[in-house]
Amino acid sequence: MFQQQLVNHLPYLMALDKSKDLESIGYYLSEHLKVAGGYWTINAIACLNKLDEISQEKKQQLSKWLKECQNQDGGFGGNTNHDSHITNTHYAILLSFLLGCELDYAAAAKYVAARQRQDGSFEGDQWGEVDARFSYCGLSSLTLLNKRDLIDIKKAASYIKKCRNFDGSFGGIPDAESHGAYVFCCVGTLYLCEDLTFNIDELSMWIHERQTSKGGLNGRPEKLADVCYSWWMYSALCLLKREQWINQQALENYILECQDNVGGIADRPNNQPDVFHTFFGLAALSLLNGDKYQLNPIDPAFALPKSILINIPGASRFIQS
């Protein structure tokens, strides 16, 4: 049944901490995602303006665990005893600001900066995979830590522009297929590089064409809509100041339709909710009509509450008004 209002998602989010079935294969299959899952969960709660519902004791427990996820190379794994990766390091930095805890930021900054290659791209870890996602993680992390001087910003922007395709959109590497998630990564990177010198209208039209008859956005042509693209692509439109290029009300309605009656948001209507789509659905609603739902304003470049970003020296100047 179509939901006209925002469901109370707090009980669903708070209960995630209790779902630790050590005999479940699902627990171990997601073991490497604990830092990411912590970010999605805590940020979703922050989006609901309910961070004070998390006890100080729980915040201290999470902060202690997060510090234990940092490795000797300065990077963070997805959980304790996991190898470092730039995406998990980025998630850890974001989560630390949400929890209000201090990490070894100097070591983390050095780890992230060391991931930049000569051509301006970023590798994910010591094994050398290159992807536009990692460029965004690098720029976002070092901007938040006020350590942008450790990398070559111009080369970073130049590489991302090579990922732009004939259709006006972006892929994960040069000549790769355009994809909605990479729109956020590439536009976010270029925004933080302060270099949006490409055909913005051409990309905005590509995003416009991703809106389906159901109101949701798909990531590629002929694919089904998915709530997560509500964030990946609408946030990019916000950064490009082209929000009106899609039917905003239809997108808002689609996200509401993907809610579960007892909390949580799924990728599509009537599917099982999960924390990933719950956070990105709420974050998109925050951009679309946050005041209506009393949501904490989320910044489209950093995917953090503006109320937190305003106190971070390296990031505050990038906050959209």
Spatial neighbors of 64 by CB under 8 A, at least 6 apart, are none
Q: How far apart are CA 171 and CA 165, in angstroms?
A: 7
Q: What is the pLDDT of residue 30?
A: 64
What confidence score (pLDDT) does residue 281 get? 98
pLDDT of residue 1: 44
- Tokens matching residue 256: 């509401």
Positive or negative, the CA dihedral 219, 287, 58, 92 is positive
Residue % of the chain over a pLDDT of 90: 92
Q: How confident is the model at residue 31 (pLDDT cuts 50, 70, 90)?
A: confident
The pLDDT, as a whole number, for residue 177 is 98
Q: Yes or no: say if 218 and 183 are a contact pair by the CB < 8 Å rule.
A: no
Over residues 101-127, mean pLDDT: 97
Q: Residue 26 pLDDT more than 60? A: no
**Per-residue pLDDT at 259:** 97
For residue 95, give the H/E element and its range.
helix 86-99
High-pLDDT (> 70) share of the chain, %: 95
User: What are residue 265's phi and psi, to 5 degrees?
Assistant: -125, 135
At 290 the pLDDT is 97
The dihedral over CA atoms of 16, 22, 25, 31, expressed in degrees to the nearest 10, equals 60
Higher pLDDT, 28 or 162: 162
For range 72-89, the mean pLDDT? 97
Question: Is the distance from CB of 177 to CB of 220 less than 8 angstroms?
Answer: yes
Structure tokens at 18: 């209790």
| Average pLDDT score over the chain | 94
Q: How far apart are the first and last CA of the chain?
A: 35
CA geometry: angle 232, 235, 239, nearest 5 deg: 135
| Mean pLDDT within 303-311 | 97
Q: What is the pLDDT of residue 321?
A: 75
Categorize the per-residue pLDDT at 219 as very low, low, confident or very high, splitting at 50, 70 and 90: very high
Taking the model in full, what pTM does it have? 0.95
Residue 18: pLDDT band (50, 70, 90) is confident
The closest of 113, 172, 180 to 148, measured between CA atoms, is 113
Whether the per-residue pLDDT at 22 is higher than 50: the answer is: no
Q: Given pLDDT bands bounded at 50, 70 and 90, which one contains residue 20?
A: low
pLDDT > 60? residue 318: yes
Predicted confidence (pLDDT) at residue 289 exceeds the cutoff of 50? yes
- Give dist(CA 111, CA 74) in Å, integer: 5
Q: What's the pLDDT at 28?
A: 45
Tell the burial category of 273 from Cβ atoms under 10 Å away from its Cβ (0-12, 13-18, 19+).
buried
- Pairwise CA distance, residues 98 & 167, whole Å: 37
Q: What mean pLDDT do residues 166-195 have?
A: 98
At residue 33, the pLDDT reads: 82
Q: CB of 285 within 8 A of CB of 117?
A: no
Q: State mean pLDDT over 137-163.
A: 98
Question: Using one digit for the tens of pLDDT, what is the confidence trace for 239-259?
Answer: 999 999 999 999 999 999 999
pLDDT of residue 3: 57
Tell me the CA distances in angstroms from 133 to 107, 128, 219, 297, 311, one per residue in order: 21, 13, 15, 24, 26
Interval 71-88 mean pLDDT: 97
Whole-angstrom distance, CA of residue 164 vs CA of residue 172: 9
What's the whole-number mean pLDDT along residues 182-202?
98
